[in-house]
Amino acid sequence: MIEIISAAACIDCGKCVEICPTNVFDAVPGGHPVIARQADCQTCFMCEAYCPVDALFVAPCSSPAPPGTVFTDEARLAADGRFGEYRRWIGWGSGRRPGSLRDRNAELTELADPYLEGNPLA
């Protein structure tokens, strides 16, 4: 779930408010957006992908991080390079190559083929 909007990094562009598929954020006139409905966050990481300045951190958990865990420790997460991690993987942002150029799913499909036969959910 979304845990942090970094006040130090956020430029109030409103992109996270605009693109969130479950409408988790609220815009604040003259201020940073706020996480208004964390319970509606579906942990899809799309806001991390779209934030142009890597100001957001979405924790890997599908429920709110208990206080005191690393997932709410902005300084520690920043030091560990955990902001904007998804955006790096998909290669968005200036000077980056789209991650899809390195997509190896086609090869994995060939490996997965026998697996498909006995599995109605594959």
Partner 1 sequence: MARPTRAPAAVRDADVLVLGGGPAGTWAAIAAARVGAQAVLADKGYCGTSGATAAGGNNLWYVPPDANAREESIRRFERIGGMLTERTWMARTLELTWVQVGQLSRWGYPFPTDAHGNVRRSSLQGPEYMRLMRRQVKRAGVTILDQSPALELLADADGVVSGAGGVHRQRADAPWAVRAGAVVLATGGCAFLSGALGCNPDTGDGHLMAAELGAEMSGMEFSAAYGMAPAFGSQTKGRMYQFARYYRADHSPLDPPSGPAGRSAACRTALEGPVYARLELAPPEIHEAMRWAQPNFFLPFDKAGIDPFTDLFEIRFVCEGTVRGTGGIAVNGDGCETTVPGLYAAGDAATRELVTGSRSGGGSHNGAWAMSSGTLAGRAAALFARRRVAGPGDLHPAGRAGVIGAGAMPPGEVIGNVQAEVLPPAKNMFRAADVLRRSAARLEQVWTDQVPQLGGDRGRQRAREAAALAAHARWMYAAALSREESRGMHQRDDCSATDPAQTRRLRVSGLKTVLVVPETGS
**CB crowding 25-41: b at 16 or more within 10 Å, else e:** beeeeeebbebeeeeeb
Q: Does 31 bind partner 1 (CB under 8 A)?
A: no
Number of residues located near partner 1, criterion CB under 8 A: 48
Minimum CB–partner distance for residue 114 and partner 1 (Å): 9
Structure tokens at 50: 């779209």
Instruction: Choose, by CB under 8 A, the member of 7, 11, 22, 96 that binds partner 1.
Output: 22
Vertex 25: Cα angle to 83 and 1 (nearest 5):
50
Q: Does 4 bind partner 1 (CB under 8 A)?
A: no
Give start and end residues of each alpha helix (H) in 1-122: 15-19, 46-50, 74-79, 85-90, 105-117
Strand partners, 35: 25
Instruction: Choose, by CB under 8 A, the member of 46, 72, 73, 78 that binds partner 1.
Output: 46
Cβ proximity to partner 1: between 30 and 118 the closer is 118
Binding site for partner 1 (CB under 8 A): 17-23, 40, 42-46, 49-50, 59-62, 71, 82, 85-86, 89-90, 92, 98-109, 111-112, 115-122
